[in-house]
A and B are shown apart, each in its own frame.
Chain A
Amino acid sequence: MAEQSAHDTAAATPMPKGIKDPSVFQLALRNKSVFWGSILLALIVVIAAIGPFLTLDPVALNPMNRLKAPGEAGLFGTDQLGRDVFSRVVNGARVSLIVGLAVAAVAVAIGLFLGLIAGYIRVMDALIMRVMDGLMSIPAILLAIAMISLSGATLATVVIAIVIPEIPRVVRLVRSVVLTVREEPYVEAAISVGTPVPLIMSRHVLPNTIAPLIVQATYICGSAMLTEAILGFLGAGIPPEIPSWGNIMSEGRTFFQLTPWIIFFPGICLAVTVLAVNIVGDGLRDTLDPRIARNMR
């Protein structure tokens, strides 16, 4: 969670123009870690998209057939309610990815909006940033637990609860980019000739935020999936009726020493997915942020 903010300083350096040049993204793919990370991610996405149609019902109970070992019943065995762990893990991929992507998308969208306002409109800056400081000072997990157990566990509340603590970090990033870009000669020139604010935003400010935001979004995505799992462990995650890697592990934790596979399989899947997302994020950062990329040579 804090990881992205660690990049604030590095990523906040505005990109010279040319970010819109499509070759940058092609360039990114040429980066080895982005390439392999993307392949891995694509594979997981395909499994998440198609898998659920090919597996058994992940919520069908079969209490008489509970806690069976892998191979004995199903590829990954069964859990304490006799549900097929393989089907649940495959279906869980979808939920975990949705959580990761939704959190990243919403956090970036809201953060971008508030960050632009804070960076550009002086009056709003103090107000927005104090609220953001406040949100940031509340430990994310505590806030999420409180929000979920208080407002009911649904997929939507889990996403919202994970998003809220992420927003301040995006706002800070965007704001710092805006503040730096404002000082650039070409932007000052644009302001002085009376270019309307929306135009300045879309032409000069936004493009400069894209690269750091994409990098940040990947970290948010990865940490959101982990946070979901931890919330599940603490009993405040996605409702048990919807299998996610987090709640599969949390429901199976009592049986850790008896039937370790219930935790093992979703754990491995989660680790590999977060790993893939982070590898892509690192690669993108190296390619999209020229200052660090230079050091990578």
Chain B
Amino acid sequence: MATASEESDGSRLSAGVGAVADWAYRLLVYGVLLFTVAPLVVVVLLSFRPNPYGNSVFSAGWPSTTWYANLPDLLASLGFASSLIASLKIAVVTTILSLLIGGLAAYAIVRKEFSYSSLLETVLISPLVYPWLLMSLAILMTASYLSGAFDVRISMSFSTLLAGHVLFTFPYPIRTIGAGLQNYDDELDEAARNLGATRLDTVWNVTLPLLRPGIISGAAFVFILSFNQYIISLFLSGTSIQTVPLLMFNLIKAQSPPQIAVLGTMLMAGMVALTIVVEYVAGMSRYI
């Protein structure tokens, strides 16, 4: 009798512990979710603040669309349009080049035999773990050394910026397209050939459509990373180009909160929308 009641007490106790653990776990998960979105949400909230100063998010008159109403003037005064165009230009060209370079490399390492293939793969994706700061410094130093030592003028411009952006982004398509190629059933290509398709026809109508998620995800990674890149652009863009992240950083250093909040909210909306669409279409999170 006593044993039975002890047992039931014990199991009731452990059930209680289980329920508490369940709740603690749930609390932790939602807490972390809050943590991930908090800095984004606060920027959005801040953009509706009427007065520009202080750190409190909500103040009298919130929400106010004052800053949005003045958006055209704000953009014009900051020269935002030229920054946006510069960022888009560099991001688009980088995306095209990195997809090509990375796509060809992915095809080679998955489909061809190399003597030291795993070493080769590590070498190819090494920019993924190489500090961005050092990449850009090394390029900057080398360029300025070459300019001094020889009579080659290498000044920081669109082309050096592009070089830096391609260097740090091209491994992403290697990973996303390479993953697609690795899971690819080669019999599909053979079936197409067997049904009368030439090699090019097969690549275009069978292989590429099936690799589409990897290609789209790779393109999205490159575009987003290039568009948001700060440190590499800082060192390699020279004086004439100011990308959006450079502009935003300068705004923070100049203590202009409302402008940052408004611009940040709009940029964020664009990027988050792009990411959600790509995640839905191609499942890009699988490739991180």
Do A and B come together as binding partners?
A: no
